[in-house]
Amino acid sequence: MPTNMARTRALMTETERARIAGEEDVEDRKVYQAISEVRNRINDELVDDVETLEEHHPGLLEELRDVVCKDHDEHD
C-alpha cells in the first residue's frame, strides 16, 4: 500500500483520537466536543451499522465483535 494514502476512519478521526488521548494541547471545550462526536457515532451510526450487519452479513458482524470484545489487557 502506498505510504501517501490517507488512513480510513473507524470510530474516531485522527484529530479526535489525539484530543481524547491528550496528545493535542487544546482547550477543554475541544476535548469535550470530540468526546461528544464519538459518543453520537456510537449511539447512532454504530447501532445502525450493527443492525445492518446482523441482517445482511452476520459473519462480518462476528469479526467486529471479535475486535471490540477482545481482551486488550494482553497488550498492556
The string of DSSP letters for 31-48 reads HHHHHHHHHHIIIIIHHH
pLDDT tens per residue across span 33-76: 999 999 999 999 999 999 999 999 999 999 999 999 987 665 54
pLDDT tens per residue across span 7-43: 678 899 999 999 999 998 889 999 999 999 999 999 9
User: What pTM did the predictor assign?
Assistant: 0.74
pLDDT score recorded for residue 24? 85
Query: How far apart are the two ends of the chain, measured CA to CA in Å?
Result: 28
pLDDT score recorded for residue 4? 56
pLDDT score recorded for residue 73? 63
Return the domain boundaries, the chain: 14-70
